[in-house]
């Protein structure tokens, strides 16, 4: 007589599985589906994914970029806990997607004007995700949380934003800005308090912040660097203790930076990953350093507690993602074996298409 495996042991095994495997495991039985889709399991798996990447001495960071020559109107806004925010039509529409589970929700703006800068991150105090936008000819900053699904004006700022995309670090988004006296500053936006403050810069004659400076993440710390040429990285300063002026350190050019895993997002949710060398002088290394940190997760991009549009990532027989032709992808409907064409998926959160072959 076969022995029954205890539920706790099953959960300990499943929580260590990759996302693409868990998507298949959900269809094994109802109890596994209920377990894997529970918020408790999603949070446990997220924590395990973070720890797994952190203790892996073979990689520096796992990052995400948006690369699609056919979609010049889309840009990467940011990433947090496996969710990726994409701006479309020059910031008139935003999408939040978990590309590994194929769920996406679209957020439309209720105000006019092109977006000058933006950011995306997780607010631990409210257990919510927020999109921050500043218009090109506006002084006010607006924020939308996925729980509220409403844009709010939160603060007037007099800074001129030099960098466009906010870099997420220590619960805050960071930009390089210029004040009324043309002084270059590092400005942070606390996602919990929803307020801006200045981050101290290096007090060193070798340091200088200019229009050619960029922010990024190195060794899990906020950093600032310059593009010396087309792609190369120069004068990399790392803040070893967050918001501590004396903790800035200039890394030498022979600094041994680990390889990063960079995931590339194309189109809506077509997905593949590659490993890039990440060291001084590496082609496009500055782009990798400025790219958002990514973690593999099951976190869904829910808006206001409502379901979202679900799009399946077409995979080959070995489980690797492949590029699906536009409007010809399929997804499994309600966990069944019935496939639904993408063009039948409703853009409305509370509407579902009818199953079809």
Domain-embedded: residue 239: no
* Helical (H) or strand (E) element with 20: helix 19-25
Q: Does residue 48 lie in a domain region?
A: yes
Residue 355 in any domain: the answer is no
Spatial separation of the C-alpha atoms in residues 297 and 23, rounded to whole Å: 11
Q: How far is CA 12 from CA 16, 134, 287, 295, in A?
A: 7, 44, 37, 19
pLDDT at 70: 65
Host domain of residue 20: 7-55
Predicted local distance difference test score (pLDDT) of residue 348: 31
For residues 296 and 53, what is the distance between their CA atoms, to the nearest angstrom?
A: 10
Q: Look at residue 21 and tell me if it is in a domain.
A: yes
Residue 27 lies in a domain: yes
- Is 30 contained in some domain? yes
> Model-level pTM?
0.80
Is 350 among the domain residues? no
3-class DSSP state of 45? helix
pLDDT tens per residue, range 37-81: 999 999 999 999 999 988 887 777 889 988 766 666 788 999 999
* Structural domain total, the chain: 1
Q: For residue range 8-39, what is the model confidence (pLDDT) as tens digits? A: 888 999 999 999 999 999 999 999 999 999 99
* Other residues' Cβ atoms within 10 Å of the Cβ of residue 268: 23
> What was the pLDDT predicted at 355?
34
Q: What is the pLDDT of residue 228?
A: 67
Concatenate the DSSP letters of all residues of 292-315 into one string: PB---------BTTB--EE-PPPB
pLDDT at 133: 93
pLDDT reported for residue 28: 92
Query: What is the structure's pLDDT at 87?
Result: 87
Domain membership of residue 49 (yes or no) is: yes
Instruction: Give pLDDT, residue 285.
Output: 64
Which stretches in the chain have pLDDT values below 50? 1, 269-284, 311-357
Per-residue confidence (pLDDT) for residue 57, from 0 to 100: 79
Please report the pLDDT score of residue 258 as a whole number.
72
Helix or strand run (H / E) with residue 287: helix 285-290
């Amino acid at each position: 007589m076969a022995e029954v495996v205890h539920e706790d042991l099953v959960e300990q095994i499943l929580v260590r599985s990759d996302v693409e495997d868990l998507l298949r495991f959900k269809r094994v039985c109802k109890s596994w589906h209920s377990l894997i889709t529970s918020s408790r399991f999603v949070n446990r798996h997220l924590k395990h994914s973070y720890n797994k990447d952190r203790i892996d001495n073979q990689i520096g960071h796992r990052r995400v970029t948006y690369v699609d020559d056919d979609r010049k109107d889309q840009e990467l806004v940011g990433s947090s806990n496996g969710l990726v925010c994409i701006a479309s039509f020059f910031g008139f529409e935003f999408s939040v997607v978990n590309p590994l589970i194929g769920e996406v929700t679209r957020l439309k703006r209720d105000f006019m004007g092109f977006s000058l800068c933006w950011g995306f991150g997780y607010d631990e105090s409210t257990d919510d995700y927020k999109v921050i936008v500043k218009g090109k000819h506006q002084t006010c900053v607006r924020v939308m949380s996925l729980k509220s699904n409403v844009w709010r004006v939160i603060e007037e700022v007099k800074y001129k934003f030099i960098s466009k995309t906010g870099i997420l670090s220590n619960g805050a988004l960071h930009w390089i800005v210029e004040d009324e006296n043309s002084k270059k500053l590092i400005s942070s936006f606390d996602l919990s308090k929803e307020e801006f403050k200045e981050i101290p810069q290096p007090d060193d004659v070798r340091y200088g912040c200019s229009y050619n400076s960029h922010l990024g993440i190195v060794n899990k710390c906020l950093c600032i660097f310059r593009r010396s040429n087309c792609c190369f990285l120069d004068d990399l300063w790392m803040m070893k203790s967050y918001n501590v002026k004396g903790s800035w350190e200039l890394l030498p050019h022979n600094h041994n930076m680990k390889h990063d895993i960079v995931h590339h997002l194309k189109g809506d949710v077509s997905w593949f990953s590659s490993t890039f060398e990440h060291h001084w002088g590496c082609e496009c290394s500055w782009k990798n350093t400025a790219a958002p940190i990514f973690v593999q997760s099951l976190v869904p991009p829910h808006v206001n507690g409502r379901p979202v549009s679900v799009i399946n990532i077409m995979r080959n027989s070995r489980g690797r993602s492949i590029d699906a032709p536009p409007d010809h992808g399929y997804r499994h409907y309600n966990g069944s074996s019935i496939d639904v064409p993408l063009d039948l998926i409703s853009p409305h959160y509370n509407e579902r298409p009818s199953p079809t072959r």
